[in-house]
Structure formats: structure tokens, C-alpha cells
Amino acid sequence: MFLSDVTYKQPNLFKSTLNESLSPVVFHKINGGVSKLISWLKDDKILLNADFGTESEESMAKRKKYFFLSTSRTRLGGYNLQPGQMDVFVTLDGRKLNELYQGKPVDYWGWKTWRENLYSKERDVNPETTQQSLTAWEHEDRVYHTEQYIPNAHQYIMKIDIMLPTQRKYMDPHLRTIEDGGKIGEYRKELEEQNPELLLSDEGHVKLEKKVKKYAWEVHAQRAKRDAMDAEVDLSKDTHRALLQHATELAKRRNIKVVFHKYKGSWLTGSDSFHNEQYKKREPNFANKKLMKDYHDNAANKEVYISRYDKALLNAYVELYKTEPKDVLNHTVELSKDADELMRSMHYGGLWGSEVSNKLRNVIHNNKRSPELIQIILPVFKGLKTRKAKDVVEFLEDKWIRKDEETK
């Protein structure tokens, strides 16, 4: 399967039209695969990411919106090009989302800047980076909300694609880099032979970009075809079978179409051919009743993992934010051990602008999809009307250290 074959049959597949709001149809690869999909369907809620704690998010944020969902305007967004087993890709109704939620296109990784620097000497000697830059563009539209969940998920999910676990052969990454880099070098030489100064012009940039981009998609299609010849669906693990069965049952209950894939080609194009071939005459049945009973019993007894260290740190910030230093000095309030250690790390270390704030930023970033932890610290950011971890640390450093020094 080549790119030309796909575009001939589906000419709109590779288009990515910018809109002031969300595009009519958007796509989202669920972080956490089938397990997280089950949470979406079971709770009928779409989980969003925290939109605060880092400076990089501030320029893309919406005022008073502290959560977002990252979606793509095309199936071929950068994060969707390398699907793994049990990955999930949902098609969402952008029109319906626009009725209640705000959204806009963003360029998180700076695609435009990457393109401008794509043909420097550094890129010339590092073809892997060049290839990554051309295939990493997310075509991102963000959905913004004041809460961490969008309710009534079934109203927005139009289709669910699931990559089945398979046994397949993969190309050695080193050989892939050599193959990609060599091809890009050939295209550069072709353009240089036509006109040595062509690559210095915008016209040359556009020509090379189109050719390399086309090559990238065709390589994906060729490798997908090789994978398809070798791939065999592997349902040897009970965990996989139970998760797939549970997701299938929940989707059916919500009246949402589910399509299963076994190789990259159909995943990238959204083709139903493999699914129809396997399940046209009968519905998918991955697990028997006994296996599902054991699965549900285990799920009922399984606790959601929450880092005790991260929870303690965030609670310490809230405690310093809510507590008045004078009450501690008057011994009417005693700080907890965690809050006291946090205050001292700002006081004695003098590292509030780097080490302490970096730690807070990292904890929020690593738990941005964990409502149990994000809801602890959210009131502090809202109260200070900021999205930066550094602002929170500066406020507390000023509040506790300045007050402490005034009493000396």
C-alpha cells in the first residue's frame, strides 16, 4: 500500500484545515490504551490534562480554563504514527464539542520553527532529527474546560479504533535511520543539482519538505505492509482478552462503533477491512464468562495507585498557602513535618527559583491526568491566578521567609 493509493481513495485523509475553533472531526489517542478507554466508557467521562504548572503551557492556555484535551485534526498526527499493542484511537465530534467547549489550534512543538531550521548544517549531519521533525507535527486542536472531565462522553465519541496485540517483526532502529537519512540526502542532492541556491529559498524549502514528507508516509505504508504479512493476532494473555472484552461490551452499551486492527496500514487510514473480514459474521468474543468474572473480581479489589510522596508534597504546598505564619509563631498552629521541610528547603537552600519550583512543576506534569492529585493543588493556582509553579514558590517564599525575618 503506497501513499498514492490511499490519497486516491481517501483524498481528505491527509488534509489539516485550521479553524478558529475545533475542527468538525478531531482525533485523540488515549494515553493508557484500552485500560483508560474502559474508564472513559464506564464513567462516561473524557479525562483532560492539567493546563498549569509549566511556563510552556501558558501561551497556549485559555483564561480561567485549567484543563485541556489534546486532539488532532487528522488521523496522521505525529503521536499516532507508531501504534503499539492495545493502543486506542478515538474519533470525536468536533461540532458537538464546539457547542459547549472552547477550542483552538496550537503548535506545541513549534513546527514552523523546526521547518525554518530544518536545512541547517546540524540537520544535514543528523538526518534522524530531520525525519523526526517532519513526522512529529501533531496538527493539534485543543479542547479547554474548567473541570478535569467532560461529561457524557458517548455523545462525542463517533468511533473507536483498537490495535490488537500481535507478534510481528520490527526493523532495527539503526537501519531505519540509515534508510531514512540516505533517502533525504538523495532528495537534497537532486534539488542542489537543479539549482545550488534553491535550498536557500522558500521555494526550495517547500519542495524538499513535500518530497521528504511524501517519502515518510510511503515508508510508513511500506513498513505497514511488511508488518501485515508477518503479523499474527496474539491473544495468549488473559489480561488482554479480558480488557478487550470489557471495552467491547461497554462500547456496545453506549452504541459506539469499535474497529479492531492488527497492523499499521489500516490503523493509519482508518480502514475497516481487517475488522470486517474477522467479525462480519459474528461479534468479537475475546473472553469467556469465567475469565470475565475473575477480571471483575480483581478490578473491584484493585486500588488506584497514587504516589504517597507526590501527595504529601502537594498537601504541604496547600498547608503553607492556607496557614498564616503568625499562627505558627504564636504556637496556635503547628506545621506538619512535610510542610515544615518544604518551608525550610525554600528558606535555607535559597533554591526556590530552580530546585524547589522544578520539583513542583515535575510533580504536576507527571500527574496531570490524576484528578486525585491535581485537585489538591488546583485551588492554590486558582487563588494566585497563575499557571506557573515558579509563581507559587515565590509567593510562599515571600510569605514565610519575609514574615520570619520581620520577627527577628
Rank 147-161, 253-267, 343-357 by mean pLDDT and report only the highest.
147-161
State residue 228's pLDDT score. 56
Q: What is the pLDDT of residues 216-250, one digit of tens each?
A: 656 655 665 665 556 688 899 999 999 999 999 99
State residue 237's pLDDT score. 94
Domain spans of the chain, in order of start: 1-302, 308-406
3-state SS, one letter per residue, for the chain? CCHHHHHHHCCCCCCCCCCCCCCCEEEEECCCHHHHHHHHHHHCEEECEECCECHHHHCCCCCCCCEEEEEECCCCCHHHCCCCCCCEEEEEEHHHHHHHCEEEECCCCCHHHHHHCCCCHHHHCCHHHHHHHHHCCCCEEEEEECCCEEECHHHCEEEEEEECCEECCCCCHHHHHHHHHHHHHHHHHHHHHHCCCHHHCHHHHHHHHHHHHHHHHHHHHHHHHHHHHHCEECCCCHHHHHHHHHHHHHHHHCCCEEEEECCHHHHHHCCCHHHHHHHCCCCCCCCCHHHHHHHHHHHHHCCCCCCHHHHHHHHHHHHHHHCCHHHHHCCCCCCCHHHHHHHHHHHHHCCHHHHHHHHHHHHHHHCCCCHHHHHHHHHHHHHHCCCEHHHHHHHHHHHHHHHHHHCC
State residue 368's pLDDT score. 92
Query: Given pLDDT bands bounded at 50, 70 and 90, which one contains residue 180?
Result: low
Q: What is the pLDDT of residues 309-362, one digit of tens each?
A: 999 999 999 999 999 999 998 989 999 999 999 988 887 655 445 788 889 999
**Over pLDDT 90: what percentage of the chain?**
44
Please say if the pLDDT value at position 48 is more than 90.
yes
Average pLDDT over residues 252-275: 87
Query: Given pLDDT bands bounded at 50, 70 and 90, which one contains residue 276?
Result: confident
Query: Given pLDDT bands bounded at 50, 70 and 90, which one contains residue 178?
Result: low
Does the pTM surpass 0.85? The reply is no
Please say if the pLDDT value at position 145 is more than 70.
yes
Average pLDDT, the chain: 79
**Based on the number of CB atoms within 10 Å of its own CB, is 84 exposed (0-12), middle (13-18) or buried (19 or more)?**
exposed
Please say if the pLDDT value at position 154 is more than 70.
yes
State residue 137's pLDDT score. 59
State residue 408's pLDDT score. 46
Average pLDDT over residues 260-278: 84
Please say if the pLDDT value at position 383 is more than 90.
yes
Query: Given pLDDT bands bounded at 50, 70 and 90, which one contains residue 63?
Result: confident
